[in-house]
């Protein structure tokens, strides 16, 4: 399915389906293809929204996790979304965490998958090596349990980014901002139901990170998926969608009468 990229003011985004907004935040090397199975599945019952985060368009001072959070806030306000189900993968999860801590009134639920914010094997120090295709290919492959998920198309996308000097500087700026902007005890302030979905074979944000989020976020539940790396919604889409569907359905069920 090809999605129409819509535009409002300076925002570019996808919006498919009707219902409560399910807003998806992609990661540092994220693309729309990361969420394809999720969009196809949930647009039947939700308004699925993917803002294209301006990873390379912000000035260097605002190329930070906080800068992206402010962009998401302006976008949600401009679109007047209410009762938002916010979902973030990797850096997108980190942006979602900072957003919910600053603007909890807009959010009905939070879903994190392979999120940074507590710990990640960052790419900011040694990554990326410009012009080294094999290195980029190996780095892309370790994102997944199954290295074949790193298709030539995906590796080419990442390689193209890393051959652009300005983009490389901004990638490093975002990666270092994520490491600096570590969260901890403030996560206890999150009151919304929170779903944590982690790959058991995630080497970027290993499973202990999911367990730590589970410990720190009061109303949270953790699901671990075997034979799965850093992007469960891509690598195990059917299992991921089933877990998310059950979580969202439970939120809309009337409380059991005692």
Q: How far is CA 172 from CA 164, 180, 210, 219, in A?
A: 12, 12, 24, 33
pLDDT digits (tens, 9 = 90+) for 146-182: 999 989 988 898 888 888 888 888 888 888 888 888 8
Q: Tell me what pLDDT residue 121 has.
A: 62
The answer to whether position 14 is within a domain reads: yes
The overall average pLDDT reported for the chain is 90
Residues above pLDDT 90, as percent of the chain:
65
Residues above pLDDT 70, as percent of the chain:
93
Does residue 117 register a pLDDT over 60?
yes
Are 242 and 235 in contact by the 8 Å Cβ rule? The answer is: no
Domain CATH number, residue 30: 3.40.50.1820
Under 8 Å CB-to-CB from 30, ≥6 apart: which residues?
53, 89, 90, 91, 92
The answer to whether position 258 is within a domain reads: no
Q: How far is CA 114 from CA 79, 85, 218, in A?
A: 27, 17, 18
The answer to whether position 255 is within a domain reads: no
Least confident of 20-24, 100-104, 156-160: 156-160
Q: Tell me what pLDDT residue 109 has.
A: 98
**Among 135, 129, 136, which residue's Cα sits nearest to residue 159?**
136
Q: Tell me what pLDDT residue 253 has.
A: 77
Under 8 Å CB-to-CB from 105, ≥6 apart: which residues?
none
Are 69 and 98 in contact by the 8 Å Cβ rule? The answer is: yes
Burial class (CB in 10 A: 0-12, 13-18, 19+), 185: exposed
Sign, CA torsion 113/225/196/237? positive
Q: 120 falls in which pLDDT band (50, 70, 90)?
A: low
Q: Tell me what pLDDT residue 177 has.
A: 87
Walk across the sheet containing 220-225 and list its strands: 6-8, 11-16, 47-51, 21-25, 84-89, 107-113, 194-199, 220-225
Does residue 251 register a pLDDT over 80?
yes
User: Structurally, how many domains does the chain consist of?
Assistant: 1
The answer to whether position 122 is within a domain reads: yes
Does residue 195 register a pLDDT over 50?
yes
pLDDT digits (tens, 9 = 90+) for 24-58: 999 887 777 789 999 999 999 999 999 999 988 88
The answer to whether position 25 is within a domain reads: yes
The answer to whether position 1 is within a domain reads: no
**Among 78, 111, 105, 107, which residue's Cα sits nearest to residue 92?**
111
Q: 129 falls in which pLDDT band (50, 70, 90)?
A: low
115 vs 128, higher pLDDT: 115
79 vs 121, higher pLDDT: 79
The answer to whether position 98 is within a domain reads: yes
Q: Return the exposure string of 41-57: e unless at least 16 CB atoms fall within 10 Å of the residue's CB, then b.
A: bbbebbbbbbbbbbbee
Query: Where does the chain have alpha helices with state H?
Result: 36-42, 65-79, 91-102, 133-141, 152-162, 165-180, 207-216, 232-235, 237-251
Q: Tell me what pLDDT residue 246 has.
A: 97
pTM attached to this predicted model? 0.92
Give residue 227's domain range.
Answer: 6-250
């Amino acid at each position: 399915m090809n999605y129409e990229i819509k535009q409002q003011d300076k925002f570019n985004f996808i919006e498919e389906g009707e219902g409560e907004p399910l807003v998806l935040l992609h990661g540092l090397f994220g693309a729309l293809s990361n969420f394809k199975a999720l969009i196809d599945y949930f647009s039947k019952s939700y308004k699925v929204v993917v803002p294209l985060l301006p990873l390379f368009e912000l000035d260097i001072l605002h190329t930070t996790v906080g800068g992206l959070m402010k962009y998401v806030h302006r976008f949600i306000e401009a679109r007047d979304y209410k009762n938002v189900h916010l979902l973030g993968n990797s850096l997108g999860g980190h942006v979602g965490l900072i957003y919910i801590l600053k603007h909890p009134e807009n959010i009905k639920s939070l879903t994190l998958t392979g999120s940074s914010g507590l710990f990640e094997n960052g790419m900011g120090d040694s990554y990326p090596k410009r012009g080294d295709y094999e290195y980029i290919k190996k780095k892309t492959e370790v994102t997944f349990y199954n290295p074949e998920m790193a298709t030539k198309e995906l590796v080419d996308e990442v390689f193209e980014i890393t051959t652009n000097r300005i983009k490389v500087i901004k990638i490093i700026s975002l990666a270092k901002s994520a490491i600096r902007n570590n969260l901890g005890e403030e996560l206890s302030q999150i009151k919304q139901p929170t779903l944590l979905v982690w790959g058991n074979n995630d080497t970027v944000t290993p499973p202990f990170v999911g367990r730590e989020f589970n410990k720190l976020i009061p109303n949270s539940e953790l699901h671990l998926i075997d034979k799965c790396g850093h992007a469960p919604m891509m690598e195990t889409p059917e299992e991921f969608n089933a877990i998310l569907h059950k979580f969202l359905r439970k939120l809309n069920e009337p409380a059991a009468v005692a």
